[in-house]
């Protein structure tokens, strides 16, 4: 028998079975396809720039591990992020490399290995980047597990797929930094916290593991310490239902609270200029002392608030039987395992933290008021997740969570909300700071999109009494349509991801500029250049006299300075130049020096990225040069 479209009943049954079977296989195995696809997207272009190091921050995480390996001093001596989790894992990786290099005769000792690292960094940095990609893949799988546990398998599939193609997540998965590692550790902590909830608070090992991973995450990046809030909130709620005894509770509580208030008042009302005068007289070179004194209000206020908090939750914190005491102890242990020298070398740590909390950075300073939060919503989180379509459904998912009376879902939402408020309130702004929110945004998208799909299916299919279109059940038609919608919405970010990876795999513009300079400029020339320009000091091919300014900018000095230094050529970064011109009211002196350079020197070559990665460079010849 044939229907109106010329298909037999047997054909219709076969088609329906095919769709049913496809959906079953899709739900069961799609996560593994997503992981493979995620790896391929991140692997392309992972060798960008090498053997040159064009990411400004990668050496900050690679140099301490090689120094630790060679000297045996396990103190990183830098705690800005603090980044210790990443550094110690890289130390293990470099140790493995040394063992193999030593066994196969490439090096005879650690000094030779360090020289190999400095001269041929490609394999070491590529391996470090591969470690970051591994962290990214683990994060995607954790997103699937968390979404599956909170909601269902379909939400897990949607969430993991979205994070797999997230442009911001992909970009920073290729760089040796702390953002991807910290995000992975956060998701581990959330996953085990949910396991603890599902065990009805009976299986303490899940709370302990969740707390340890929270400590690991703080040892990676301080700001993600917000992860302790969902853990401690849950523990306080559990503990509040039980009665604990504590000897001399009131006396200790009032003493701690009083001391905390006293420290805050000292910070506000006491003038520390006398202490500054003493330091200036007896230790004028002690920058650490000056930094601590200049931030005395902040430090005393933080210590006072901490003491008051401890006093308020005295019973819960110091009674080993309480859940919050267990959580705090293991958070501290987790932090200390990977960042012990933050506590053992506190002066350096405080100095680094204060520097990282600075409020000045070219083109990265916060916007006034709520504009900073709006910027994160409309820029970092929107483009970072793949576009407005995904962000809208993520917002819908967040709204729907608060309409569902689910304590577990409320607890899940604590971290992304608090973290968003925190980064939007900081003194600088970077798109990469939003990376820890991306897994939560992906899960919220999956939930929001699934709720719309489920609602439409229930409203239409059941009301139409299993109506068929083209002899297919309506619910399967709807499923196919929603799948097509996700695929179509994903095409743009996927294409952009592939194109960007392809671009990164090409020769960097600065490498091309370096080769041109070494080929075309006269041997013996004196060249002044800054960061983001050709790395002429790395594997130099000519006998140039180099005035490398590193993080300083060419326009920090007037043109007369370079003439007095007998500089023949000046190379500037067009990226820096554009950043200054974007804020003319703030940088009039720097802009005037760019204008002076353009007027009094001859522009002989511009290198622009085009289809190649990297930043643009402009090469000027001073006019007194023959």
pLDDT, position 577: 93
Which stretches of the chain drop beneath a pLDDT of 50?
1-7, 245, 470-471
The first and second tokens of residue 24, run together, are: 């079953």
Write the DSSP string, 329-351: HHHHHHHHHH-HHHHHSHHHHHH
- Taking alpha carbons only, the member of 342, 340, 139, 310 closest to residue 232 is 310
Phi, psi of 174 (to 5 degrees): -90, 0
Q: What is the 3-state secondary structure (H, E, C) of 71-128?
A: HCCCCCCCCCCECHHHHHHHHHHHHHHHHHHHHCCCCCCHHHHHHHHHHCCHHHHHHH
The verdict on residue 163 lying in a domain is no
604 occurs within a structural domain: yes
In a domain, 618, yes or no: yes
Residue 573 is assigned to a structural domain of this protein: yes
**Exposed (0-12), middle (13-18) or buried (19+): which is 494, by Cβ within 10 Å?**
middle
| Model pLDDT, residue 2 | 46
In the chain, % helix, strand, coil (3-state, to 5) comes to: 70, 5, 25
Structural contact between residues 448 and 193, judged by C-beta atoms closer than 8 angstroms:
no
**pLDDT reported for residue 576:** 92
Residue 608 lies in a domain: yes
Tell me which residue of 394, 506, 495, 379 sits closest to 441, measured CA to CA. 394
* CA 99 to mean position of chain CA atoms: 31
Please tell me the predicted confidence (pLDDT) of residue 509: 96
User: Is 1 contained in some domain?
Assistant: no
* Residue 257 structure tokens: 């609270």
User: Structural domain of residue 580, as residue ranges?
Assistant: 509-622
Beta strands, E only, 423-517: 468-469, 472-473
The number of domains in the chain is 1
Is position 141 within any domain? no
Q: How many CA atoms lie within 13 A of 540 on its CB side?
A: 12
pLDDT (0 to 100) of residue 350: 85
| Residue 535 in domain | yes
Sequence-ordered list of residues with C-beta below 8 angstroms from that of 254, at least 6 positions apart, any chain: 311
- Residues found in the chain: 626
Residue 349 has a CB neighbour count (10 Å cut-off) of 18
Position 459 scores a pLDDT of 77
Q: What's the confidence (pLDDT) of residue 303? A: 78
């Amino acid at each position: 028998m044939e229907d109106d479209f010329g298909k037999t009943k047997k054909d219709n049954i076969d088609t329906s079975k095919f769709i049913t079977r496809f959906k079953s296989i899709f739900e069961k195995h799609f996560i593994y396809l997503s992981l493979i696809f995620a790896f391929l997207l991140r692997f392309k272009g992972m060798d960008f720039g090498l053997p040159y190091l064009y990411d400004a921050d990668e050496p900050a995480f690679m140099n301490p591990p090689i120094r630790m390996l060679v000297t045996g001093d396990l103190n990183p001596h830098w705690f800005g992020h603090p980044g210790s989790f990443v550094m110690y894992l890289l130390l293990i990786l470099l140790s493995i490399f040394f063992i193999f290099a030593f066994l196969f005769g490439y090096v005879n000792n650690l000094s030779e290995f360090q020289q190999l690292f400095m001269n041929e960094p490609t394999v070491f940095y590529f391996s470090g980047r591969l470690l970051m990609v591994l962290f990214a893949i683990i994060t995607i799988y954790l997103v699937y597990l968390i979404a599956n546990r909170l909601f269902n398998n379909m939400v897990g599939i949607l969430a993991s797929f979205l994070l797999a193609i997230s442009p911001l997540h992909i970009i920073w998965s290729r760089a040796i930094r702390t953002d991807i590692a910290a995000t992975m550790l956060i998701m581990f902590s959330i996953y085990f916290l949910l396991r603890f909830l599902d065990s009805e608070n009976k299986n303490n090992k899940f709370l302990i593991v969740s707390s340890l991973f929270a400590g690991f995450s703080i040892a990676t990046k301080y700001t993600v310490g917000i992860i302790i809030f969902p853990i401690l909130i849950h523990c306080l709620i559990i503990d509040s239902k039980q009665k604990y005894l504590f000897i001399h509770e009131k006396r200790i509580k009032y003493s701690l609270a009083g001391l905390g208030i006293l420290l805050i008042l000292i910070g506000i009302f006491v003038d520390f200029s006398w202490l500054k005068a003493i330091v200036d007289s007896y230790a004028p070179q002690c920058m650490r002392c000056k930094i601590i004194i200049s931030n005395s209000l902040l430090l005393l206020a933080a210590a006072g608030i901490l003491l008051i908090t401890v006093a308020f939750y005295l019973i819960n914190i110091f009674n080993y039987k309480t859940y919050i005491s267990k959580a705090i102890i293991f958070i501290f242990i987790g932090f200390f395992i990977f960042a012990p020298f933050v506590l053992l070398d506190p002066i350096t740590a405080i100095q680094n933290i204060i520097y990282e909390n600075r409020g000045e950075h070219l083109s990265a300073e916060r916007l006034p008021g709520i504009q900073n939060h709006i910027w994160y919503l409309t820029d970092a989180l929107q483009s970072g997740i793949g576009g407005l379509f995904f962000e809208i459904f993520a917002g819908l998912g967040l709204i729907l969570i608060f309409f569902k009376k689910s304590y577990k879902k409320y607890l899940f939402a604590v971290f992304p909300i608090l973290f968003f408020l925190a980064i939007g309130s900081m003194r600088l702004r970077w798109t990469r700071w939003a990376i820890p929110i991306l897994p939560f945004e992906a899960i919220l998208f999956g939930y929001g999109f699934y709720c719309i799909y489920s609602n439409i299916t229930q409203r239409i299919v059941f009301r139409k009494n299993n109506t068929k279109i083209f002899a297919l059940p309506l619910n399967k038609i709807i499923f196919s349509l929603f799948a097509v919608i996700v695929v179509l919405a994903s095409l743009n970010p996927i294409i952009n991801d592939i194109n960007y990876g392809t671009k990164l795999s090409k020769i960097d513009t600065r490498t091309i500029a370096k080769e041109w300079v070494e080929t075309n400029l006269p041997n013996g020339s004196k060249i002044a250049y800054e960061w983001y320009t050709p790395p002429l000091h790395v594997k130099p091919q000519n006998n140039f006299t180099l005035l490398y300014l590193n993080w300083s900018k060419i326009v920090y000095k007037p043109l007369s300075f370079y003439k007095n230094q007998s500089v023949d050529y000046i190379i500037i970064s067009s990226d820096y130049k554009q950043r200054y011109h974007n804020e003319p009211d703030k940088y009039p002196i720097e802009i005037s020096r760019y204008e002076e350079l353009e007027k009094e020197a001859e522009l002989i070559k511009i290198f622009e990225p085009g289809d190649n990665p990297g930043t643009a460079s402009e090469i000027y010849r001073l006019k007194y040069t023959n």
